[in-house]
Amino acid sequence: MNAPRLDRHRLPHHIAVIMDGNGRWARQRGRPRVFGHRAGSKAVRRVVRACRRLGIEVLSLYAFSAQNWGRPADEVHHLMDLLGEFIIKEWQEIMERGIRVVHIGAIRRVPAEVRSRLKALELASQRNRDMTLVLALSYGGREEIVRGAQRLVSRAAAGKLRPADVDADCFSRALYTAGLPEPELLIRTGGERRISNFLLWQCAYTELFFTDVLWPDFKVADLRAAIIDFQGRSRRFGLTGEQWEERDG
Ligand code: FPP
């Protein structure tokens, strides 16, 4: 039997990625962890290009979690530098390829220089329409949900929101990801099988794909394999198979 092929008419609209394994990749080579992050940055470039070429609408990358601030200071420093470098190096290509860049997360903690570069890129790319690249930076899913709840409570306290108005759509609009489609496919590299506080609310019905490939080794072929696997899944959103097939009459 022929191996399944990627169907370009049934692509996930939104792919989210937990890029894990940089440290182990470096250790396997007897190099410091930051060496792995640098190689990871090249994989970011590869995957952004591939998603844009395929026609993926939204790509979300977990670049730095709220919990990553607890890592050794020099590693944090290096990751921030890499991000700043990425913005400068990729700026032109991002614009040429029509990619809109947005961040999610508490970036007030990000060093001012990197933060202002990021904001400048967000502003410059805000009208780009061919793909949205979401950078999760200083991001935590629980933190996002708590922040959303605080925003709704403030509006309620100001008399601008009634408890009965709070439903799932209203809550979604209070999150960083307001206006973005929910991820249909979440890829995690590096062998662990967990979500690690990434897009907790948004991943309620997301298909999960775990691979042992370490992030710096993640190639376009691995991305395609994840999408092909996704295309073989049966998604029913809580309904029975029969209901799902008959849902449009
Ligand atoms: C997890 O691997 C990876 C990170 C915490 C950082 C991800 C950052 C990059 C891929 C590079 C910079 C990003 C951009 C957007 C330019 P790990 O260090 O936990 O790996 P380990 O589990 O093997 O130790």
Neighbours of 41 (CB within 10 A): 22
Q: How far apart are the first and last CA of the chain?
A: 33
Residue in 27, 29, 34, 37 to alter for ligand 1 test, most ligand atoms within 8 A of Cβ: 37
Is any atom of ligand 1 closer than 6 Å to the C-beta of 41? yes
Is any atom of ligand 1 closer than 6 Å to the C-beta of 68? yes
pLDDT of residue 3 exceeding 90, the answer is no
Q: Domain locations in the chain?
A: 14-140+182-232
The backbone torsions φ and ψ at residue 36, rounded to the nearest 5 degrees and listed phi first, read: -65, -40
Tell me the pTM.
Answer: 0.95
pLDDT of residue 249 exceeding 60, the answer is no
Can you tell me which residue has the tokens 């609310």? 201
Closest CA to 64 of 196, 179, 177: 196
pLDDT of residue 2 exceeding 90, the answer is no
pLDDT of residue 99 exceeding 90, the answer is yes
For residue 227, the model assigns a pLDDT of: 98
For residue 81, the model assigns a pLDDT of: 97
Q: pLDDT tens digits, residue range 170-203?
A: 999 999 999 999 999 999 999 999 999 999 999 9
For residue 57, the model assigns a pLDDT of: 98
pLDDT of residue 248 exceeding 70, the answer is no
Q: Which of 68, 128, 217, 229 is catalytic?
A: 68
Q: pLDDT tens digits, residue range 129-156?
A: 999 999 999 999 999 999 999 999 999 9
For residue 247, the model assigns a pLDDT of: 79
Q: Which CATH superfamily is domain 14-140+182-232 in?
A: Decaprenyl diphosphate synthase-like (3.40.1180.10)
Closest CA to 103 of 51, 139, 67, 49: 139
Quick one: tokens of 154? 């403030």
What's the maximum distance between 2 C-alpha atoms anywhere in the chain?
Answer: 63
